[in-house]
A and B are shown apart, each in its own frame.
Chain A
Amino acid sequence: MSKIPEELRYTREHEWVRLEGDVATVGITDFAQDQLGEVIYVELPPAGRTFAAGATMAVVESVKAASDIYAPLEGEVLENNAKLIEEPGGLNRSPYGDGWLVKMRVANPAQAGALLTPEAYAAIAKE
């Protein structure tokens, strides 16, 4: 069974969001990394890029497939995980820790209410 930490929020596209004030850290879930298999390449947006919610923001490529990663909320990229670009395997080892993708300043933190609770995401990951 894949891990779904209680303190995070989720999207249908298997991303997780940790919101601290108006700064959101974004990654992909344990379930997603398990489905993808070993990650071999990540393409992350540079700081300063802005995205609408749902816009394609990054690409994660595994031995099986290349997958688009969507911005879970509207906002501006503050930092990307440069270490992960160097060593993409970190995403498999620690999807909720060292495997984070980007930190972004969220345009409207109230929109985070639309994200999924751990329980709601668990139901999707089960399907």
Chain B
Amino acid sequence: MELVFEKHSAGSGAANVPDPGPAAEALVPPELRRAAPPALPELSELDVVRHYLALSRRQVGVDSVFYPLGSCTMKYNPKLCEEAARLPGFARLHPHAPDELCQGMLALLWNLERQLCEICGMDAFTLAPMAGAQGEWTGLLIVKAYHDARNDARTEVLVPDSAHGTNPASAAVAGFEVRAVASNAEGEVDLDALKRAVGPKTAALMLTNPNTLGLFETRIKEIAAVLHEAGALLYYDGANLNAICGVARPGDMGFDIVHVNIHKTFATPHGGGGPGAGPVGVKAHLAPFLPAPRIVRDGERFVRAEAPPQSIGRTGAFGGNTGVLLRAYAYLAMLGREGVARVARYAVLAARYLAARLAADFPPAYDRPCMHEFVAAPAAAILKQGVKTLDIAKRLIDYGFHPPTVYFPLIVHEALMVEPTETEPRERLDAFAAAMRAIAAEALETPEKLKAAPQNAPVGRVDEAKAARELVLTYDMAR
């Protein structure tokens, strides 16, 4: 498909910008003026419309196909939440509007904080972080502030070897040294390895539960005790909250801090680079360190309060991505307490059903019931054909499905990580299982078909190595 720049046709331009005249020119200092007009493409309005419509028709998303991308919770986001976020009273609110002119928004955010406290078993929440990674970073700055306030210099953050890459990355950015803790044969944190790793330098352990293998950490209370006895904190990465929301609470398991990926679990379309929201919740002993602004209820009124003295400060200019937070509020209001728990139960049921349906050709990496997602790998007979997980993923595109996550977690050879979510009906899960079955048969009979996939997509097999080695991020308009 041609780029909009390549569709340029001189003289066809639809934009008709009036000449600003000499007075306007005088406002711009000579050294900042362009010598020549920018090389923008000229297209008629009709061609612009056709170009972007054609682009939109090539889009693949959860609104068009089954999208079982493990660890990402690509579930359907109800359109009602979208509508709530676009209500002009919210959407047109200026972040600098004085508190008395935005009581509705503040009340709603305050209530959302309470709801997240209830879901996560925490005592206080901040909605300020604008993405999951910023939530992690905020959480780790709170970890640091907590230990610093006790004059207890701690330099290490532990992560399991199955951890998502953002955990060690966030810890490193927050100034900690990262140490990996091995997983055991059941796919859980190895308690003995953890005991060996924990010491006076340990600031925190970052963990998801269920973990990145889609398995519940059954010894989570023992894990929490090991950390707490050593004076360290337990951090919950909310990546997998969809598996337990409304059913089990990180706070009750012994976690001290959580971040929630609002955009995953609570109804914001994601995967396109944002915006997201990564609220952070803490137990009472960490509340003084939360970032500003804090939304405080004063009788019937709500105010944005500045930071208390021990706060880590501000993590952004304003109070967070309110559009994303509004969607979450609408979603929770729609579901209610029982609905939220049903989300988790259906998500787990769908994953267990699909894992069982795929097991003959794609045996699970750990032979035990999964939570909301599972990690499997192609059967030995398939791998013997020289077929890799990547080939299977590419072939799924031909069958009309978005591929699952591949090659993660790193500790599983040729990993395939499937998260069907609660929003797909059984018929869709069966259709996916049938496609995987057909692909497994192809792998044995005509493996070259998989190697050449995808054939039915607008773009064939992309050279991922070339794309990464020769990164071109801008179009050279002078060409």
Residues of A within 8 A of B (CB): 35, 37-41, 63-66, 88-89
Contact A89–B407 (Cβ < 8 Å): no
Residue with the highest number of chain A CB atoms closer than 10 Å, among B390, B410, B464, B465: B465
Within the complex, the shortest CB–CB distance from A38 to chain B, in Å, comes to 4
Q: Which of chain A's residues has its CB closest to B389's CB? A: A64
B469 at the A interface (CB under 8 A) = yes
Contact with B469, one of A35, A40, A65 (Cβ below 8 angstroms): A40
Complex interface: chain B residues within 8 A of A40 (CB): 465, 468-469
Contact B465–A63 (Cβ < 8 Å): yes
CA distance A40 to B410 in the complex (A): 17
Within the complex, the shortest CB–CB distance from B413 to chain A, in Å, comes to 8
Contact A38–B407 (Cβ < 8 Å): no
Contact A65–B410 (Cβ < 8 Å): yes
CB within 8 Å of A: which of B391-425?
407, 410, 413
CA distance A63 to B407 in the complex (A): 10
Contact with A38, one of B165, B410, B413, B464 (Cβ below 8 angstroms): B464
Residues of B within 8 A of A (CB): 165, 390, 407, 410, 413, 464-465, 468-469
Within the complex, the shortest CB–CB distance from A49 to chain B, in Å, comes to 18
Q: Which of chain B's residues has its CB closest to A88's CB? A: B469
Contact A89–B410 (Cβ < 8 Å): no
Complex interface: chain A residues within 8 A of B165 (CB): 66
Contact A41–B407 (Cβ < 8 Å): no
Contact B410–A63 (Cβ < 8 Å): no
Q: Which 10 A-B pairs have the closest CB atoms?
A: A38-B465, A40-B468, A64-B407, A63-B464, A40-B469, A65-B410, A40-B465, A63-B465, A63-B468, A65-B407
Contact A41–B468 (Cβ < 8 Å): yes
Contact with A89, one of B390, B413, B464, B465 (Cβ below 8 angstroms): B465
Residue with the highest number of chain B CB atoms closer than 10 Å, among A35, A40, A41, A89: A40
Complex interface: chain A residues within 8 A of B464 (CB): 38, 63
Q: Which of chain A's residues has its CB closest to B469's CB? A: A40
Give chain B's interface secondary structure class: helix
Complex interface: chain A residues within 8 A of B407 (CB): 64-65
CA distance A38 to B470 in the complex (A): 13
CA distance A17 to B390 in the complex (A): 31
Complex interface: chain B residues within 8 A of A66 (CB): 165
CA distance A41 to B464 in the complex (A): 13
Complex interface: chain B residues within 8 A of A63 (CB): 464-465, 468
Within the complex, the shortest CB–CB distance from A87 to chain B, in Å, comes to 9
CA distance A4 to B465 in the complex (A): 25
Complex interface: chain A residues within 8 A of B468 (CB): 40-41, 63
Q: Which of chain A's residues has its CB closest to B470's CB? A: A40
Complex interface: chain B residues within 8 A of A88 (CB): 469
Q: Which of chain B's residues has its CB closest to A92's CB? A: B465
Complex interface: chain B residues within 8 A of A64 (CB): 407
21 contacts between A and B (CB under 8 A): A35-B413, A37-B390, A37-B465, A38-B464, A38-B465, A39-B465, A40-B465, A40-B468, A40-B469, A41-B468, A41-B469, A63-B464, A63-B465, A63-B468, A64-B407, A65-B407, A65-B410, A66-B165, A88-B469, A89-B465, A89-B469
CA distance A38 to B413 in the complex (A): 16
CA distance A42 to B149 in the complex (A): 40
Complex interface: chain A residues within 8 A of B390 (CB): 37
Complex interface: chain A residues within 8 A of B410 (CB): 65
Within the complex, the shortest CB–CB distance from B462 to chain A, in Å, comes to 10
Q: Which of chain A's residues has its CB closest to B390's CB? A: A37
Complex interface: chain A residues within 8 A of B465 (CB): 37-40, 63, 89
Q: Which of chain B's residues has its CB closest to A67's CB? A: B410
Within the complex, the shortest CB–CB distance from A99 to chain B, in Å, comes to 15
CA distance A40 to B468 in the complex (A): 6
CA distance A40 to B469 in the complex (A): 5
Within the complex, the shortest CB–CB distance from A80 to chain B, in Å, comes to 19
Complex interface: chain A residues within 8 A of B469 (CB): 40-41, 88-89
Within the complex, the shortest CB–CB distance from A96 to chain B, in Å, comes to 20
CA distance A24 to B464 in the complex (A): 33
CA distance A47 to B176 in the complex (A): 26
Within the complex, the shortest CB–CB distance from B469 to chain A, in Å, comes to 5
Complex interface: chain B residues within 8 A of A39 (CB): 465
CA distance A66 to B164 in the complex (A): 12
| 14 extra A-B contacts, CB within 8 A, seeds A37-B390, A39-B465, A40-B469 | A35-B413, A37-B465, A38-B465, A40-B465, A40-B468, A41-B468, A41-B469, A63-B465, A63-B468, A65-B407, A65-B410, A66-B165, A88-B469, A89-B469
Complex interface: chain B residues within 8 A of A35 (CB): 413
CA distance A88 to B407 in the complex (A): 20
CA distance A91 to B410 in the complex (A): 20
Complex interface: chain B residues within 8 A of A89 (CB): 465, 469
CA distance A25 to B129 in the complex (A): 46
Within the complex, the shortest CB–CB distance from A90 to chain B, in Å, comes to 12
Q: Which of chain A's residues has its CB closest to B180's CB? A: A68
Within the complex, the shortest CB–CB distance from A57 to chain B, in Å, comes to 16
